[in-house]
Amino acid sequence: MTTLPPSSEKKLGLVIDLDICVGCHACVVNCKEWNTGGYGAPLGDVDAYGDNPSGAWLNRIHTFEVTPEDAPNGGQAQIVHFPKSCLHCEDAPCVTVCPTGASYKRGEDGIVLVDEKKCIGCGLCAWACPYGAREMDPVENVMKKCTLCVDRIYNDNLPEIDRIPACVRTCPANARHFGDFADPSSNVSKMTAERGGMDLMPEMATRPVNKYLPPRPKTRPASERELAPALAPRTQEGLLGWIDRALEKLG
């Protein structure tokens, strides 16, 4: 079994804002692209253009329609896009269950990684992960997972603006944020405190580093009477119409 470090100097992770994620899958695609040519073995694809495609993905988005019980005005259904990847838990069961030491948590920054040279493909870590965040690569037969783009964030050959995870860099809605949760003045710590950032499935006691910002309550639109002025049809009066109205005001 693999042991966890007693603590980490940093707690690098993500804050994901469920209120503004639009479910575009840009983070999913860029994650696939970067990790296919980056850290570890490429992410495999089998029958990619056939009838039964399969492959390894480190980030996925699930979409739900929910009606909050405490929503105002009788409750209004809303769509929530829920990105899911490794949460880099402080008490990571995927690490302690690994029989070869392939799965490990770094003491310097808290990132959970897989040493693919040691991985025997037993799948125990996938069984132990309560979030379904690990996938067996169908080509390499080794376990794959989010690395927080460890080969980007410390890469001095990249411009500083690019030294963040690929999913964060590509998000068009700015719904994903990267930082150090051990630093109370970091952007992710402040957002978590201000918006009530949540752990996913806290009852599992894994203490995930990544946090989710909950969707803000949605309200029903105003009544038709209140909306009528805004919805009234408008004509394109052009220059002559403007002149006519100006002359009317002059009397």
Q: Is 126 exposed, middle or buried (0-12, 13-18, 19+ CB in 10 A)?
A: middle
Whether 191 is in a domain gets the answer: yes
What is the pLDDT averaged over residues 153-162? 95
Kindly tell me if the per-residue pLDDT of 241 is higher than 90.
Answer: no
Whether 228 is in a domain gets the answer: no
**pLDDT score at 7:** 80
Separation of alpha carbons 84 and 63, rounded Å: 11
Whether 223 is in a domain gets the answer: no
Whether 199 is in a domain gets the answer: yes
The four Cα atoms 229, 231, 232, 235 give a dihedral, to 10 degrees, of: 120
Count of structural domains, the chain: 1
Whether 19 is in a domain gets the answer: yes
Residue 77's CATH number: 3.30.70.20
Whether 92 is in a domain gets the answer: yes
Kindly tell me if the per-residue pLDDT of 232 is higher than 70.
Answer: no
Whether 218 is in a domain gets the answer: no
Higher pLDDT, 52 or 180: 180
Percent of the chain with pLDDT over 70: 82
At 64-97, the pLDDT tens digits run: 988 766 655 556 778 899 999 999 999 999 999 9
Phi, psi (rounded to 5 degrees) for 33: -65, -45
At 50-68, the pLDDT tens digits run: 998 888 999 999 999 887 6
For residue 67, give its domain range.
12-213
